[in-house]
Amino acid sequence: MSRLHDLFEQQGQSPWLDNLRRSWVASGELQKWVDGGVRGITSNPSIFEKAMTGTDAYDEQLQELKAAGASIEESYWALVVSDIEGALGVLRPLYESSDGVDGFVSVEVDPTLAPDTEGTIAAARALHQRIDQPNVYIKIPATQAGIPAIEQMIAEGRSVNVTLIFSLSRYQAVMEAYLSGLERCPGDLSAVSSVASFFISRTETEVDNRLDALGTPEATALKGQGAVAQGQAAYHLFLETFTGPRWEALVDRGAKVQRPLWASTSTKNPDYPDTLYVDALIGPDTVNTLPDNTLVAFADHGTVARTVDADPGHAHQVLAKLEALGVNMEDVSQVLEDEGVAAFVKSFDDLLANLAEKVATF
């Protein structure tokens, strides 16, 4: 048994892999990750950009798509769906053996739709229908426009990975969308699932930059603490939300909790431990999706212990001190949300341009 197995068996946290490559599915590498303790896969436009650029793994399918008259964007989605379906097949046994708790593969809607509620709903619905597998998560960003789309997808019984959550207030809105969607969803709820992806290290970088700008001893002392504190506070909100009469009425219909998923968990600052954003956020009913290098690091020397709610008072103290210094976490979150959406749009646009260049050579 590895540390990744221990993480789930002893602490109730599911380690997922934040990466996907076509070659991993074909070679059996993805199955090795699963055998080693990985319990799900996440992807995004940036991951697909890296996977599809500078490799010939997609050339044969691209040539077939060109011959069939597919546009560049149609070709992109055909490539993505092929990769997702391959990964879904690898993860399906885990989905079934876990009674639908794990074994999911996430695929994101067109990132250019982030400000468009109706467009997001239509795209998410179409993508879910096209793939039509019980262990697929459609990723919808937690933008203001995304919140109603999330509720609508849940109301239709479609499983969702809510992505790009940076603030506690937006996280509360995401959980409310999930609960309201479940309440609108008819019949048995046991096949409906969701995770709420709360971004960690990107938050740390932005908070630390603001603390550096202040330059005071009080500010310096808080470096490296803000993102973990906010994640731990988010877990406290999760525990508060998924309890009580409203939630119990949904449990009676088969509902599952919307697990917090810690995303952006590679350590950006080399001065911090490389497993910081795993070690500090371990607890029941949570997911941590990690890039392969961080997964390897945690498997080698991570600490398996319940930490996410070990000292909630300290987490709230850190957040209070940040606010007192003028580091407004709501403003931090808005900056990061805007940057996150822009980064995914750029990856999407760059990838389409690269695919067009490659297709032109066939």
What confidence tens digit (pLDDT) does each residue in 282-306 have?
999 999 999 999 999 999 999 999 9
- 332 phi and psi angles, rounded to 5 deg: -55, -45
- 122 token code pair: 């239509």
User: DSSP label at 110?
Assistant: P
d(CA 179, CA 249) in angstroms, rounded, equals: 11
Residues contacting 303, CB < 8 A, separation 6+ = 275, 279
Extended strands (E) in 28-180: 40-41, 104-108, 136-141, 160-165
User: DSSP label at 48?
Assistant: H
Q: Whole domain around residue 289: which residue ranges?
A: 3-360
The pTM for the full model equals: 0.95
- 211 token code pair: 């603390």
- Is the predicted pLDDT of residue 250 greater than 90, yes or no? yes
Q: Smallest Cα–Cα separation from 21: which of 46, 52, 44, 54?
A: 52
pLDDT band at 44, cuts 50/70/90?
confident
Single-letter code of the amino acid located at 141: P
- Is the predicted pLDDT of residue 93 greater than 80, yes or no? yes
Strand partners, 108: 139
- Are 255 and 182 in contact by the 8 Å Cβ rule? The answer is yes
Share of the chain above pLDDT 70, in %: 100
Please report the pLDDT score of residue 327 as a whole number.
98
d(CA 199, CA 282) in angstroms, rounded, equals: 15
Domain count, the chain: 1
pLDDT in tens, 339-360: 999 999 998 899 999 899 989 9
User: DSSP label at 2?
Assistant: -
Strand partners, 195: 161, 259
Alpha helices in 132-275 (DSSP H): 146-155, 168-184, 201-214, 217-221, 226-241, 245-251
DSSP element (H, E) containing 336: helix 329-360
One of 32, 50, 139, 346 is an active-site residue; which one?
139
- 55 token code pair: 């490799």
Q: Smallest Cα–Cα separation from 14: which of 260, 266, 362?
A: 260
Please report the pLDDT score of residue 56 as a whole number.
85
* Average confidence (pLDDT) over 212-233: 97
- 261 phi and psi angles, rounded to 5 deg: -120, 120
Q: Is 32 a catalytic residue?
A: no
pLDDT band at 182, cuts 50/70/90?
very high
Q: Is 164 exposed, middle or buried (0-12, 13-18, 19+ CB in 10 A)?
A: buried
Please report the pLDDT score of residue 1 as a whole number.
56
d(CA 263, CA 253) in angstroms, rounded, equals: 29
pLDDT band at 29, cuts 50/70/90?
very high
What CATH number is given to the structural domain containing 131?
3.20.20.70
Q: Is 280 exposed, middle or buried (0-12, 13-18, 19+ CB in 10 A)?
A: buried
Strand partners, 259: 195
